[in-house]
Structure 1
């Protein structure tokens, strides 16, 4: 790992003062990658600055040199996991080997949302935190909307108006999130939400057929 400046030499304003330099940005990204890997492996329970520092092989003071605090670090790590999942979802939905209807594209995304891929447990817990304490952790859910709504709108037929694509994207996003919560909290376990998903896909098929 790269070495860091002595955090004890921080200015009275605090430790964080590296964001403007390319070297500081690179080190910040490196630390974020280590912390993100720890969240992906162990989830959000008992997350703390000291745990993050241990995962990154550094000290909490060094993390404070690069990040404003534990909440910023947590938010950015969750955003990175979500960015990776969104990229995987887009690749699966637009795979030329699959049918290209909107319903089929949404169907291709679903396994990535409910599977056991990188950081799945952490992303589920992030959504739970946002619902439990929206004042403090609402941004963990807001980032999900910002990440997935444009993706879903982009999967809609391009001949649709921008307004229609946005409306359908919001509907699909809300439905998939609801089905995901149902699956995670249902006694049915692996089959929770499947009936709702099937109904959503039928609706999308009709919506596209009527356009």
Structure 2
């Protein structure tokens, strides 16, 4: 049985921060416990297993980004370009810390690792609906809005990957600005 509550939430955030800085690789539950100042028994109590912990890390990272997008799309007066430009600023700033963890977990989802399986369901589909709705609000037909949403998601993640590998965030920012000007209604 896994524990719940504020202590669990704080511990999860500590683990996310540790993994953001050091990566997952093949780190054991004991190594994660030591690095986060807890015991492996507490991690097992709260998360059930290493895979359970990593599943929760995936959920926490995705939930944070989805909450940021939801907050930005909640303003009915904001147009698609404004929302995506503001979201890009938020995501690219966070990517400097959490991007390597995000891409490591994404690669593990591609490899079929159990703890990252949830990403197969949450990495793209939940993003298309809010972005698609935003683009429909900007005047695109529903099918075109969904396709354009997928384009923006894929391009943004590609630019983040590029910037994380090369360190060229200014160039990635410029490319994203060009993309939003070309692909999104005002």
- For the criterion TM > 0.5, the same-fold answer is yes
**2:78 equivalent to 1:100:** yes
Matched with 1:39 is 19
Aligned counterpart in structure 2 of residue 153 of structure 1, from 132, 137, 154: 132
Higher relative contact order (CA 8 A, sep 6+): 2
Q: 1:72-128 CA distances to partner (integer Å, 9 max, x unpaired)?
A: 3123113212311332233245557xx72212211111111211x3x7533433314
User: SS where residue 23 of structure 2 aligns?
Assistant: coil
1:57-136 maps to which residues of 2 (within 5 A)? 57-92=37-72, 94=74, 100-115=78-93, 117=94, 120-131=96-107, 134-136=110-112
Q: Which runs of 5+ in 2 are unaligned?
A: none
Deviates more, 1:79-88 or 1:29-38: 29-38
Separation (CA, whole Å) in 2 of partners of 1:200 and 1:132? 28
Are the aligned partners of 2:156 and 2:176 in contact in 1 as well (CA < 8 Å)? Answer: yes
User: SS where residue 25 of structure 1 aligns?
Assistant: coil
Q: Which runs of 5+ in 1 are unaligned?
A: 1-16, 19-23
Higher Cα Rg, which structure? 1
Question: How does the TM-score come out when normalised to structure 2?
Answer: 0.73
Are the aligned partners of 2:96 and 2:164 in contact in 1 as well (CA < 8 Å)? Answer: no
The size of the alignment, in residue pairs, is: 180
Q: Which structure has more helix as a fraction of its residues?
A: 2
Are the aligned partners of 1:102 and 1:204 in contact in 2 as well (CA < 8 Å)? Answer: no
Are the aligned partners of 2:58 and 2:119 in contact in 1 as well (CA < 8 Å)? Answer: no
Q: 1:148-184 CA distances to partner (integer Å, 9 max, x unpaired)?
A: 3333223223365543332221111111111111222
Structure 1 148/202 Cα, relative in aligned 2: closer, same or farther at 3 Å? same
Shift of 1:50: 1.7
Matched with 1:171 is 151
Are the aligned partners of 1:78 and 1:123 in contact in 2 as well (CA < 8 Å)? Answer: no
